Amino acid sequence: LNVTEEKFVLDTLAGCTEYKSILDVVVNAFYVQDGRYCPISERNLYIVICYLATFQLDEIGLQHFSRIVKSLDTAKMQKFLRFFFNDLYLNTWIKDEWSHFYDSVYVKQNWIDPLLRWQPKVQQLIEKLTDKLGNRTTTVKTSRVTQPKEFNLTVPKPCAIPPPPPAPLPALPKRQHVPPSIYKPPKERKQLEEIKAKNIQKAKVTLFCLGQIRSLLCACKGDPFSLHTLPVQGTILTGRAIDPFLPQHLEVVWESVLKQCFEELTKQPHDLIDNIPIKLNTAAILREGALYQRKLEEELKRIENLQQGAGDPSEFLEWQKQMRGKDLEEQLAEIECRRLQGKLSYEEAVLAHQKVIQENKKKADLLREEKAELMHLYAEKRLQEQKEMKELVEHVMEGHKNVKQVKAKIQEYKQKIVQQVCEESGELLRQALEEEEDKNRKRYELIQQIRAIESTPNIRHKFVDLTETGGHGLFGEMSIVELRERLALLKEAQKATEEEKRDQIIHGKQAKEQLMLDKLDQISQFRAELG
């Protein structure tokens, strides 16, 4: 769809959704009266046509509306438009039903009057549809006669000319033998392997030298002048006492490495290590401040303990070790006791299980004996019932002999019952007729009252006073004016609380900044004292 058609479709869909209640009134009435045999699946079609005729006819025009109607089924559109544009229906029940949802004056001015104004032109459209239906001719499908066709047989191809014989293949030149140098490894690979082995040996020697230098540095403990006093100095410098197979050029390497290490140790400044500036964030400041505060508290506590006469804690530690040993022995004894108790409980459970099995066997024997007794009693009862049945059969056979006398008595009894029922039914019928007459008379009076109430004018407009309450009897009931005033007061209170929270946040930030400055002063003071 282009932009115009898409806008028209979306507007139509939105309008049908918005005015669904009043459109359903017309479509439901159409299905009840004229559209009884129309399928319910076409309900949306009638809703769209009703919406276009009611709200969009002035905007789109009669010509566009006629093209939409003619593009649909002629019989259905003719039946629906004839029902909807009926003067009597528009002025009576359609107007009254729509007035239930909207104001009656608004309905008459905006919807009913435009429909009545378009009614003559739409009537001409309905007549055209009627004429089209009258001139419609039914086309009868004629059966087609089968026309025979010739078989589509394959036409034989003409014989092809035989191809000429193939040309002889040219003779290939003689193959040369592979030279023996292909199967021998190249000399370059052997040279590369030798160079690689030499490099590995040099790397091993260098790693060994670095290990010896590290051990020397650990031995001299950072003092470069103590290297000359070590007993292994000569052997390290020469390199022959460590490994007699080391090459001679490593002596120069050892001397250059030791010389460079000695120069670096002599040039390294020891005083710059402690004076490196470190950038601290909030967490680092608080963490370092807490560390210094904890150290200060521990030092004060230690001094206080010394003033109170605290002595050597070795005796206390010995006593603590002995007590822990005793606690461990008690725990082991308790564990052993629990293990023995577990064994005893297991043996008791086995004995209890055996006892239960024996009791179950005794109960099973008792149940078997009771079952045998019950079966014996059941057999005796069955014999007694058979005897009673025989006696009953004999009694019935004797009763059949006096059937005629019994039938005569039953017939007399039934005749009496029929007479009583006829008398009672006549009385009940008379009472029912009287009750029905009373009901009809009351219904007639009620209908007269309802008609009198409907004939009185109904005031549809209700004047609203915003200062009055609803009168529902609730505890927190209030008028609209009071509700607005309370909402204004609540908004002012909310603004005051927001301002107070904002001030508290600002004061908190200022206090935190002051705390950070104090911590930094304290840290700088501690560092100066420790330095």
pLDDT digits 0-9 by tens, 495-517: 999 999 999 999 999 999 999 89
Cα angle vertex 284, ends 280, 288, to 5°? 110
Q: What is the pLDDT of residue 262?
A: 55
Q: How far apart are CA 287 and CA 521, in angstroms?
A: 14
* Lowest-confidence segment of 242-251, 310-319, 439-448 by average pLDDT: 242-251
pLDDT digits 0-9 by tens, 391-406: 888 877 776 767 777 7
Q: What is the pLDDT of residue 284?
A: 86
* Lowest-confidence segment of 72-76, 188-192, 229-233 by average pLDDT: 229-233
pLDDT digits 0-9 by tens, 450-459: 888 877 766 6
Q: What is the pLDDT of residue 220?
A: 53
Residue 224, pLDDT > 50, answer no
Higher-scoring residue by pLDDT: 13, 230:
13
Nearest Cα residue to 52 out of 80, 104, 87, 16 = 16
Structure-token match 């927001």, residue found: 498
- Do 13 and 56 touch, CB atoms closer than 8 A? no
Structure-token match 């009472």, residue found: 431
Mean pLDDT of the chain: 81
Continuous segment of H or E residues that includes residue 441: helix 403-455
- DSSP state at residue 147: P
- Do 114 and 470 touch, CB atoms closer than 8 A? no
Nearest Cα residue to 101 out of 39, 25, 175 = 25
Q: What is the pLDDT of residue 227?
A: 47
What band does 185 get if pLDDT is binned at 50, 70 and 90?
A: confident
CA 170 from chain centre, in angstroms, equals 80
Residue 235, pLDDT > 60, answer no
Q: Which two tokens stand for residue 455?
A: 């004939």
pLDDT digits 0-9 by tens, 335-368: 999 999 988 989 999 999 999 999 999 999 999 9
Q: What is the pLDDT of residue 477?
A: 85
Residues 6 or more apart whose CB falls under 8 angstroms from that of 222 comprise: 265
Residue 143, pLDDT > 60, answer yes
pTM of structure:
0.30
Nearest Cα residue to 56 out of 102, 15, 101 = 15
Residue 35, pLDDT > 60, answer yes
